[in-house]
A and B are shown apart, each in its own frame.
Chain A
């Protein structure tokens, strides 16, 4: 009971000045705010290219694009509907695993060794689920629970040996190189769609179970699910090789080494660097420089190609999200978010709408997860960690502006940039502190390791600063009163 009193009290006071996150904006924000913020972000990237190196800037740009899509997915759930999804990492990892399953060529020996048993296990699993669903719909009360319990236990006993044999056979096939069933060998860009579909399917199951819980409970439940998803991917070696990682995934863009052989590419490089090449007088040296530029340029070209692909996806999703937000559906979602009771009284089905938006948001995160694995060219389940893949995305949404799609995109850029640059910044600070210290002391050596966690510190600080002083984020939610 006490909780409801707290919440109503919160709503009562928030009406006048400040309800931090989902506030109603009375004063209109300047129309220049978004373009200026994006311009500043672009300048920061250009400066990175200038002072550090173009490769660093392009790498940041690519991951920023992916992060922006993740933030957009989370923004759909949190900003539109007020759902606290602390399982972003799980959906990202699912998307990544899908990328492997879609693009990796099938491992025929493994399929020959354990394929039949795997198919049989799948059949048994489907049979169990179908039986449970039948029992759930056909019977009632104690009897139902008993029957379901018996079915699950019996199914487990039937499944375990078949599945165990399948896994053993698959994982025994050349474990140093494969030891898993491989994938479908399809183009990896297809996995971006498939990753979204898989994430949506899992989100449907999770939503059925966990939605309708209080906000903090949903957060804890989703946090748990994401841990389970990652531990399944880490341990089920037969599926995506677990912590042995899958590397060398096919690319949607050309390889550097192929580019360097192409005549059109060297012509392009010659044109781009014409000025700098002309400055070199010695013919041999010029030839040398051209060679260097071609190698360097091929790396940049690949990154730019990724950036182009990602930008297209980002723009499509952004357009869809903006349209959705401004449609009657978006208005309904905001109405549900701001006052569930009132929306329910108007005949809106809150649980269904929540499920819908939870699935949509998770699908977008899944797409981004598949894109990230494509960009890396490898799937490494061991690197998924909730601070980086769940809570960092939260910082992006809060800082960018929850409820505003452009804000989420901007947040993705700003926070990823800060996250990457915080480490060299930390290293620089440490260098300044330790400049006059004796390098052989333990304190000096200890301080050298501090640079990496420095970014965690910066992220926490940025989140708390924004939450307190600018809870609506850089680009606040736009609310029109008609």
Chain B
């Protein structure tokens, strides 16, 4: 039988390397998937440009952060980017509305097939990714400042006397906190406010909503503002947690779509649940359980390999397998999203 301290050590190890990172990553994915699912629910197309919209939003956040830092304004222990978020959301929302006016609106007015809008979103993706690279270049950029850790691994070890340390970065805690606030605000908005109700009605049945006198232009406008806000927040949090690199934002598209489809596309609650499921599966499948196992099993059983299901380079495969399984077993997703032919 493993001793109590061993079990505690194993639990701390899991918390440090699986639970905390997955929770933060899941929050970022949830926010991204919310944006995709809202656009799909209201505008009825899969927006391939969402990853690059996130990158664009983050770019503006970084510029604003630099501006604030140059003015000598910082947010103390938390990253300055948190203050920069507010104006950056505004800029990104304006950009999203301009894109809709100049590109997507045209096809919506003609009631073009959804796939035409998908192709248009590919065009937008190209241009947005170019603009982001114009401003930021293609390298990794870190823009986090303030206190790096809430708990350091060493402090934790000294505090508890355990062998394993637990480190929680400020950005990780911040990510979860901001995500909770954002998601709650969004749900209250969708459930309680008149506009939110109009949006849900429009998403459920467009024709009926139009007959009830809901202004479609207003619904679309609000959708883009919310999508841009979500994209900016998700992108900035991801960038704070890891680092900002334009191409990785494009690659986030896959787990985000997987999360949205898993939860049921067009269902906000599904996007959140899907985001966490995808993140936890990804981290848990690519984590090497060797040290975890050595705490729990007798020494003679100690495993030889790393006990890793998949190399970390295959994390895309995890999102993809989830995607395929959902599409095959329950194509409407967990929360009965849009009907799939």
Q: Which of B118, B125, B134 is packed against the most chain A CB atoms within 10 Å?
A: B134
Residues of B with C-beta under 8 A to A18: 110
Q: Check if B327 sits within 8 Å of A217, measured CB to CB.
A: yes
A235 and B311 contact, Cβ closer than 8 Å, known pairs A386-B250, A463-B119, A463-B122: yes
Report, as a range, how many residues of chain B touch the other chain.
Answer: 35 or more
Asked if A441 is at the interface of the complex by the 8 Å CB criterion, the answer is no
B265 to chain A, nearest CB (A): 9
Most chain-B Cβ atoms within 10 A of its Cβ — which of A82, A210, A214? A214
Please, how many angstroms separate the alpha-carbon atoms of A456 and B305 in the complex? 44
Q: How far is the CA of A464 from the CA of B100 in the complex (A)?
A: 13
| Surface stretch bound by A, among B23-31, B53-61, B173-181, B204-212 | B204-212
Distance to closest chain B CB from A270 (angstroms): 47
Cross-chain contact B313 with A235 (CB below 8 angstroms): yes
Residues of A within 8 A of B288 (CB): none
**A467 interface contact, C-beta 8 A:** yes
Partner of B127, one of A224, A228, A394, A460: A460
Q: Which of B103, B126, B257, B331 contacts A220 (CB 8 A)?
A: B257
Chain A, residue nearest B247 (CB): A385
A235-B311, A394-B122, A464-B123 are contacts. A5–B115 as well, Cβ < 8 Å?
no
Interchain CB contact under 8 A, B127 and A456: yes
- Name, among A213, A219, A456, the residue most crowded by chain B CB atoms within 10 Å (CB to CB): A456
**Is there a chain A Cβ closer than 8 Å to B320's Cβ?**
yes
A227-B251 in contact (CB<8A):
yes
What's the A-B contact tally at a CB cutoff of 8 Å? 172
Which residues of chain A are within 8 angstroms of B113 by Cβ–Cβ distance?
7, 10, 19-21
Report yes or no: A3 in contact with B130, Cβ–Cβ below 8 A: no
B320 to chain A, nearest CB (A): 4
Q: A421-453 toward B: CB 8 Å interface, digit per residue (1/0)?
A: 000000000000000000000000010011011
Instruction: Collect the chain A residues with CB atoms within 8 Å of residue B316's CB.
Output: 224, 227-228, 231
- Report the separation of the CA atoms of residues A227 and B248 in the bound assembly, to the nearest whole angstrom: 13
- Cβ of B323 and Cβ of A460 under 8 Å apart? no
Known contacts A164-B305, A217-B340; A224/B119 CB under 8 A: no
Q: Does B338 contact A (CB under 8 A)?
A: yes
Chain B residue at minimal CB-CB distance from A7: B113
Residues of chain A contacted by B118 (CB below 8 angstroms): 84, 215-216, 219
Give the chain B neighbours of A232 by CB distance below 8 A: 314
Q: Is the CB of B46 within 8 A of A464?
A: no
Determine whether the beta carbon of B205 is less than 8 Å from that of A463: no
In the complex, whether B151 has a CB less than 8 A from a CB of chain A is: no
Bitwise interface map of A from 385 to 409 toward B, beta carbon under 8 Å scored 1, else 0: 1110001001100100000000000
Task: Judge if B67 is at the interface, Cβ distance under 8 Å.
Answer: no
Q: Which of B280-309 contact A (CB under 8 A)?
A: 305
Q: Is B192 an interface residue (CB 8 A)?
A: no
Question: Most chain-B Cβ atoms within 10 A of its Cβ — which of A9, A459, A460?
Answer: A460
Shortest beta-carbon distance from B63 to chain A in Å:
13
Do B203 and A231 touch across chains, with their CB atoms under 8 A apart? no
Q: For the complex, is B107 an interface residue (Cβ under 8 Å from A)?
A: yes
Assembled-state Cα–Cα distance A251/B98 (Å)? 51
Residues in chain B near residue A387, CB distance under 8 A: 126, 129, 250
Q: How far is the CB of B336 from chain A (nearest CB, A)?
A: 12
Interface residues of A in 180-238 (CB under 8 A from B): 209-210, 213-217, 219-221, 223-225, 227-228, 231-232, 234-235
> Does A234 lie within 8 Å of B313, measured CB to CB?
yes
Q: Which residues of A contact B112 (CB under 8 A)?
A: 10, 19-20
Q: Which chain B residues border A450 with CB–CB below 8 Å?
A: 133-134
Known A-B contacts A160-B305, A446-B137, A457-B130; the reply to A464 vs B206 at CB < 8 A is no
Asked if A216 and B119 sit within 8 Å, CB to CB, the answer is: no
CB pair A221 B317 closer than 8 Å: no
Which residues in chain B, 101-156, are within 8 Å of chain A measured between CB atoms?
103, 106-107, 110-116, 118-120, 122-131, 133-134, 137-138
A176 within 8 A of B: no
User: Quick check: B44 and A453 within 8 Å, CB to CB?
Assistant: no
In the assembled complex, A454 has its CB within 8 A of some CB on chain B: yes
Among A164, A210, A231, A453, which residue has its beta carbon within 8 angstroms of that of B129?
A: A453
A457 contacts B324, C-beta separation under 8 Å: no
- The answer to whether A20 touches B107 (Cβ under 8 A) is yes
| Chain B proximity of A114: nearest CB distance (Å) | 17
Taking CB as reference atom, which chain A residue is nearest B129?
A456
Contact B320 A467 (CB under 8 A): no
B317 & A231 in contact (Cβ 8 Å cutoff)? yes
In whole Å, how far is A472's beta carbon from the nearest beta carbon of chain B?
Answer: 12
A468→B101 CA distance, assembly (Å): 13
Nearest CB of A to B308, in Å: 10
Whose C-beta in chain B lies nearest to the C-beta of A6? Answer: B44
How near does chain B come to A239, taking the closest CB pair, in angstroms? 14
Q: Which residues of B sit under 8 angstroms from A339, Cβ to Cβ?
A: none
CA distance A318 to B119 in the complex (A): 25
CB pair B114 A391 closer than 8 Å: no
Listed by A's residue number, 19 A-B pairs whose Cβ atoms lie within 8 Å are A1-B339, A2-B203, A3-B114, A10-B113, A82-B115, A214-B340, A215-B114, A216-B46, A216-B114, A216-B118, A223-B254, A224-B254, A227-B251, A231-B314, A452-B138, A453-B129, A456-B129, A460-B124, A464-B103
> Which 8 A-B pairs give the minimum distances between C-beta atoms?
A460-B126, A460-B127, A457-B130, A453-B133, A456-B130, A216-B46, A224-B320, A463-B123
Known: A215-B114, A220-B257, A459-B126. 12 other contacts (CB 8 A): A21-B116, A210-B327, A213-B331, A217-B46, A219-B46, A220-B261, A221-B320, A228-B314, A235-B313, A391-B125, A446-B137, A456-B130
